């Protein structure tokens, strides 16, 4: 018996016209497909690289290593306060411009200019070349022709996006579409306390996205983590999310929540009772001063509301909790069977030690779940690569997984078509 109403077509999968046949996971093991994804997806979509709070002052910068696009970029707030992006390469002989001890490690800081470690060429924060060592030794060199190579960069709701293509086909807000931009007024900026995890995962980037866009696995894989009564009930009823949304290449899933403080003490860990916190976040909610909650949130009107997880194509997730905090996930591919996972938690800054401890327990619980998910994915990847099986049935609660793989396939097909047309 479904707890929540299904669309008139009988299932979300049919409602969105995605087909119900078993799916191939060849797109997650094929090295050829991965090579195509580099160009077809990661150089043709807007990519989120962080938040404006990471650039608090004029001159603040950070670098982002984008192995999938074979580049590194510098994101900087220039002297006028504008956020800009450049390829992280010196115009003289191609040295990587900004790095610290290890060239492949990301870095951040504040600076008035960027100076190349090789021969000392200098660049202003707006990318213009401001100094060439022994300029008179060069031949007809005009510094004005040797600025850093710009990368398209735009900011939406405090999220910084870049586009690595020559000319984006759509503006950032056109690309994000109405479902995502409906979150515009959510007070992301008030939640500036940031906890950050980063880890290599030996699985295709789409597999980890899949693990976080269905909750079908939760009562099983995380059985020991979830309150036992909740797990048992969810498993018996067949866990269902009340709402799945699709808008262009993007997706959202919404879930009902639980109020942990109403659970019997034997359903909780002593630490959770002590800190009034856990996976679902701090039990005591900060005041976000909502004049009106953005229309796109809690689309099924759940009470209590659990979370809405917005999967922004290709590799970015904004997950907003009913308990007034949020998470972002990034999945940065490094090979067909490897990626870097980044999970970031954002809270209204703690004002008391109790709040600080509650944030820390939420962050640690999140990491614990992340480990369980990632561990399973590495096991999945190895057996997908055996190619013993080539078709996999996906249930209606896995509708978003089906959509992601369809969209990735469509973008790759579209790119191949464009190549043959040229
Ligand atoms: S490569 Fe940068 S100054 Fe020579
Ligand atoms: Fe999970």
Domains and CATH numbers, the chain: 12-39+178-421 (3.90.380.10), 47-167 (2.102.10.10)
Q: How far is the CA of 194 from the centre of ligand 2 (A)?
A: 21
Angle at 113 between CA 165 and CA 95, to 5 degrees: 55
Pick from 321, 324, 259: nearest CA to 290? 324
pLDDT class for 3, splitting at 50, 70, 90? low
Ligand 1: nearest atom to the Cα of 95? 1
Tokens 């003490």: give the residue: 265
Ligand 1: nearest atom to the Cα of 133? 3
Number of alpha helices (DSSP H) and beta strands (DSSP E) in the chain: 9, 17
Closest ligand by atom to 90 CA: 1
pLDDT (tens digit per residue) in 46-74: 999 999 999 999 999 999 999 999 999 99
Pocket test for ligand 1, best of 92, 114, 135, 143 (most atoms within 8 A of CB): 92
Position 13 pLDDT exceeds 50: yes
Predicted local distance difference test score (pLDDT) of residue 126:
98
CA distance 176 to 46: 9
Pocket test for ligand 1, best of 96, 103, 118 (most atoms within 8 A of CB): 118
Strand order in the sheet with 108-110: 47-51, 159-163, 150-156, 83-87, 71-77, 60-66, 108-110
% of the chain surpassing 90 pLDDT: 82
What is the pTM (predicted TM-score) of this model? 0.96
Eight-class DSSP state of 392 = B
pLDDT (tens digit per residue) in 171-229: 999 999 999 999 999 999 999 999 999 999 999 999 999 999 998 888 888 877 776 77
pLDDT class for 349, splitting at 50, 70, 90? very high
Q: Is the separation of the CB atoms in 207 and 341 below 8 Å?
A: no
Which CB contacts under 8 angstroms, 24+ apart, belong to 381-390? Answer: 381/28, 381/29, 381/202, 381/203, 381/204, 381/207, 381/337, 384/25, 384/28, 384/29, 385/29, 385/337, 387/29, 390/24, 390/25, 390/26
Predicted local distance difference test score (pLDDT) of residue 258:
85
pLDDT class for 298, splitting at 50, 70, 90? very high
Please state the rounded mean pLDDT for residues 110-123.
98
- CB count, 10 Å around CB of 387? 10
Query: Comparing 148-152, 256-260, 290-294, which segment has the lowest mean pLDDT?
Result: 290-294
Predicted local distance difference test score (pLDDT) of residue 240:
83
- CB count, 10 Å around CB of 300? 17
Burial (CB count within 10 angstroms: exposed 0-12, middle 13-18, buried 19+), residue 160 = buried
For the chain, the distance separating the N- and C-terminal CA atoms, rounded to the nearest angstrom, is 53
* 411 or 278: which leads in pLDDT: 411
CA distance 369 to 208: 12
Pick from 312, 314, 364, 322: nearest CA to 343? 364
- List of residues 6+ apart from 102 with CB closer than 8 A: none
Predicted local distance difference test score (pLDDT) of residue 377:
94
Mean pLDDT of the chain: 94
Position 18 pLDDT exceeds 90: yes
Ligand 1: nearest atom to the Cα of 90? 2
Q: Report residue 228 as tokens.
A: 């036992």
Q: Is the separation of the CB atoms in 158 and 172 below 8 Å?
A: no
Q: Report residue 94 as tokens.
A: 């191609």
Q: Please give the helix or strand (H or E) that residue 335 lies within, else none.
A: strand 325-335
Rg (C-alpha) for the chain, rounded Å, is 23
Position 317 pLDDT exceeds 90: yes
Predicted local distance difference test score (pLDDT) of residue 371:
87
pLDDT class for 146, splitting at 50, 70, 90? very high
Please state the rounded mean pLDDT for residues 94-103.
97
Ligand 1: nearest atom to the Cα of 119? 3
Residue 197 in contact with ligand 1 by CB distance below 6 A = no
Pocket test for ligand 1, best of 88, 96, 98, 119 (most atoms within 8 A of CB): 119
Predicted local distance difference test score (pLDDT) of residue 230:
67
Q: Please give the helix or strand (H or E) that residue 177 lies within, else none.
A: helix 172-181
Tell how strand 159-163 and strand 193-201 pair up: unpaired
Predicted local distance difference test score (pLDDT) of residue 289:
76
Please state the rounded mean pLDDT for residues 156-178.
98
CA distance 352 to 372: 31
pLDDT class for 296, splitting at 50, 70, 90? confident
Q: How far is the CA of 122 from the centre of ligand 1 (A)?
A: 9
Predicted local distance difference test score (pLDDT) of residue 235:
63
Predicted local distance difference test score (pLDDT) of residue 218:
84
pLDDT class for 165, splitting at 50, 70, 90? very high
- CB count, 10 Å around CB of 417? 9
Position 1 pLDDT exceeds 60: no
């Amino acid at each position: 018996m479904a707890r929540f109403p299904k669309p008139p077509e009988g299932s979300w999968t049919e409602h969105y016209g995605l087909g119900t046949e078993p799916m191939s996971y060849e797109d997650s093991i094929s090295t050829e497909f991965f090579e195509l994804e580099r160009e077809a997806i990661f150089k043709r979509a807007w990519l989120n690289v962080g938040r404006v709070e990471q650039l608090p002052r004029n001159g603040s910068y950070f670098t982002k290593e984008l192995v999938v696009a074979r580049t590194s970029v510098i994101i900087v707030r220039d002297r006028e306060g504008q956020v800009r992006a450049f390829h992280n390469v010196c115009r003289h002989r191609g040295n990587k411009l900004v790095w610290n001890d290890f060239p492949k490690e990301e870095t951040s800081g504040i600076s008035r200019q960027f100076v190349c470690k090789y021969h000392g060429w200098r660049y202003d924060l707006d990318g213009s070349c401001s100094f060439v060592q022994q300029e008179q030794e060069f031949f007809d060199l005009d510094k004005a022709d040797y600025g850093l190579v710009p990368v398209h960069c735009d900011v939406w709701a405090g999220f910084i996006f870049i586009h690595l293509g020559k000319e984006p086909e759509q503006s950032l807000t056109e690309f994000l579409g109405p479902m995502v931009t409906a979150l515009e007024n959510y007070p992301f900026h008030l939640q500036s306390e940031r906890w950050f995890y980063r880890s290599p995962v030996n699985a295709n980037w789409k597999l980890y996205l899949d693990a976080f866009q269905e909750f079908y696995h939760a009562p099983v894989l995380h059985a020991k983590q979830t309150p036992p009564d909740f797990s048992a009930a969810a498993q018996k009823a067949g866990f269902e999310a009340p709402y799945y949304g699709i808008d262009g290449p993007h997706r959202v899933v919404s879930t009902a929540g639980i109020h942990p403080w109403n659970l019997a003490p034997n359903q909780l860990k002593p630490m959770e009772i002590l800190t009034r916190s856990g996976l679902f976040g701090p039990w005591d909610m900060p005041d976000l001063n909502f004049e009106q909650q953005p229309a796109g949130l809690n689309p099924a009107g759940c009470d209590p509301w659990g979370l809405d997880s917005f999967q922004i194509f290709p590799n970015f997730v904004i997950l907003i909790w009913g308990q007034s905090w949020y998470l972002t996930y990034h999945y940065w591919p490094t090979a067909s069977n490897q990626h870097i996972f980044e999970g970031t938690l954002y809270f209204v800054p703690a004002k008391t030690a109790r709040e600080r401890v509650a944030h820390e327990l939420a962050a640690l619980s999140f990491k614990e779940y992340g480990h369980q998910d990632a561990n399973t994915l590495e096991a999945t990847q190895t057996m997908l690569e055996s190619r013993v099986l080539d078709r996999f049935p996906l249930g209606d609660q896995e509708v978003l997984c089906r959509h992601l793989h369809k969209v990735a396939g469509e973008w790759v097909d579209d790119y191949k078509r464009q190549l043959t047309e040229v």
